[in-house]
Amino acid sequence: MSGIERNVRKPRWFVLIAALPVTVFVAIAAAFLWGLFNNEDSLPSTMLGRDIPEFDLPPIDGRENGLSAADLHGEVSLVNVWASWCVPCRVEMPLLVELAQTKTVLIHGINLKDKPAAARRFLAELGDPYDRIGADSSGRTSIDWGVYGVPETFVIDAEGSIAYKHVGPFDRQSLENDILPVVRRLQQEQGA
């Protein structure tokens, strides 16, 4: 082999080192795309299967009924944690209003760290799907529930245990495929 041929031919390790950045980039891009298009809205919750925390919240201004742990016993219900300053809450509110009109399940609300006038305006503008609303002005009750942020929706069984938790705004698909099947199953178990 002449000196010229030796200089032209690259060692095998050089090719492997040159391919390493490309391989790393492809792996990172694949992980990013999986995370971007993965429609998994559930986060692990230590509260699943456990009794709801004890709480007693006053009503928001303009409402007579607040929300307490005692209100969440006796029948299957949803508890939606929301706030007027929460943009994703605006996105899911039409579906909550629509669901409330079907009378499929009782819907209760926990209004998190909101100004009373802002909460009233929010409900007046977008509709009020809630049977009861508790004002969690300090955020302590939401922390006890394990809330990461708003909105979050919980399915509560008739015994007052958390059966399901949806983090973030839900769309029609997650309502139909994730939330309502849990509600229907619990309602059937309650009626049995």
Arithmetic mean of pLDDT, 32-43 = 55
Q: Taking the model in full, what pTM does it have?
A: 0.78
What pLDDT is stored for residue 39 in this prediction? 52
How far is residue 124's CA from residue 43's CA, in Å, rounded to a whole number?
31
What pLDDT is stored for residue 44 in this prediction? 58
How far is residue 99's CA from residue 173's CA, in Å, rounded to a whole number?
13
What pLDDT is stored for residue 5 in this prediction? 54
Token pair, residue 28, equals 């990172």
pLDDT at 143 over 60: yes
Residue 189: pLDDT band (50, 70, 90) is very high
Query: What are the tens digits of pLDDT across the range 61-97?
Result: 999 999 999 999 999 999 999 999 999 999 999 999 9
By CB atoms closer than 10 A (0-12, 13-18, 19+), residue 154 is buried
Residue 120: pLDDT band (50, 70, 90) is very high
What pLDDT is stored for residue 18 in this prediction? 72
Strand bridging mode 77-82 / 106-112:
parallel
Residue with tokens 């007052």: 160
What pLDDT is stored for residue 162 in this prediction? 97
Fold (topology level) of 56-191: Glutaredoxin (3.40.30)
Token pair, residue 15, equals 């090719």
Query: What are the tens digits of pLDDT across the range 38-56?
Result: 555 455 567 888 999 999 9
What pLDDT is stored for residue 6 in this prediction? 55
Residue 177: pLDDT band (50, 70, 90) is very high
Residue 124: pLDDT band (50, 70, 90) is very high
Whole-Å CA distances, 78 to 18, 129, 182: 55, 11, 11
Query: What are the tens digits of pLDDT across the range 146-164?
Result: 998 999 999 999 999 999 9
**Segments making up each domain of the chain, as ranges:** 3-37, 56-191
